[in-house]
Amino acid sequence: MIQHVYERATRAKLVDAVVVATDDDRIRQAVERFGGRVWVTRTDHETGSDRVAEVVAGLDCDLVINVQGDEPLIEPAAIDQAIEPLLAEPALQMTTLCRRIDDPSLLASRDVVKVVRDLRGNALYFSRAPIPFARREGAGPLGWKHIGLYAYRRDFLLRFARLPAGPLERLESLEQLRALEHGLDIRVVETTYDSVGVDTPADLERVRRLAAALPQAEH
């Protein structure tokens, strides 16, 4: 699975290099077998951003993309979508993605993280709860699903990783809330890409079926 994520990330047009950050020796061995670049981190990181920050501290780069290792069908174009605003707006420090929710069951699911944005497209809040509440039906999309892919400027990420987790981050178990709790902006870019994470055996079977339906060049 990690090889699929790695290879698809390398297909993003705006990505110069891909590194797997892990504290698991089994993953290290798997990456080395297919010839990927891997960085073994400490075992005490609570979030993916904190783990990526440890790696970035030893790299010479300007922008950093945090791609989840359990999404083997990650769309390369979605990675580029997260990077583009950082290239266009020098003052922007962090971006992520969202996708329109049209299925009420997704809005109600605690496994689906929702986001609400301000008029500039910056995040107001992320939650596992169904937000926003629609007082009148038909006023717009049901909500926005957060796609857990992050892009940051290197210096911002290193500063972010040094910040203490706030009560909302701990309550919802959502690392991106740390930025909002400390008054930092996150630009949320709309995409049509939908994340397909693998957290259970059933998820794995679903991904296998989806992968089998893809054109050979996209595997």
- Structural contact between residues 118 and 188, judged by C-beta atoms closer than 8 angstroms: no
pLDDT digits (tens, 9 = 90+) for 38-54: 999 999 999 999 999 99
User: Tokens 């400390």 identify what position?
Assistant: 182
**Can you give the pLDDT of all 219 residues of the chain as single tens digits?**
789 899 999 999 999 999 999 999 999 999 999 999 999 999 999 999 999 999 999 999 999 999 988 887 889 999 999 999 999 999 999 999 999 998 888 998 998 999 999 999 999 999 999 998 877 666 566 899 999 999 999 999 999 999 999 999 999 999 999 999 999 999 999 999 987 665 566 655 655 565 555 565 555
Q: Which two tokens stand for residue 130?
A: 């169904």
Cβ neighbors of 22 (< 8 A, separation 6 or more) are 28, 31, 38, 39, 40, 41, 51, 69
Q: Going from the N-terminus, what domains does the chain have, and what CATH number goes with each?
A: 2-218 (3.90.550.10)
Cα(114)–Cα(17) distance, integer angstroms = 30
Which element (helix H / strand E) includes 115?
strand 114-117
* pLDDT score at 155: 97
For residue 48, with 0-12 CB atoms within 10 Å meaning exposed, 13-18 middle and 19 or more buried, which class applies? middle
Q: Which two tokens stand for residue 52?
A: 């990526």
* pLDDT score at 194: 85
pTM as predicted: 0.88
Which is nearest to 71 in space by CA: 195, 206, 209? 195
* pLDDT score at 139: 59
Sign of the alpha-carbon dihedral angle for 148, 151, 152, 158: positive
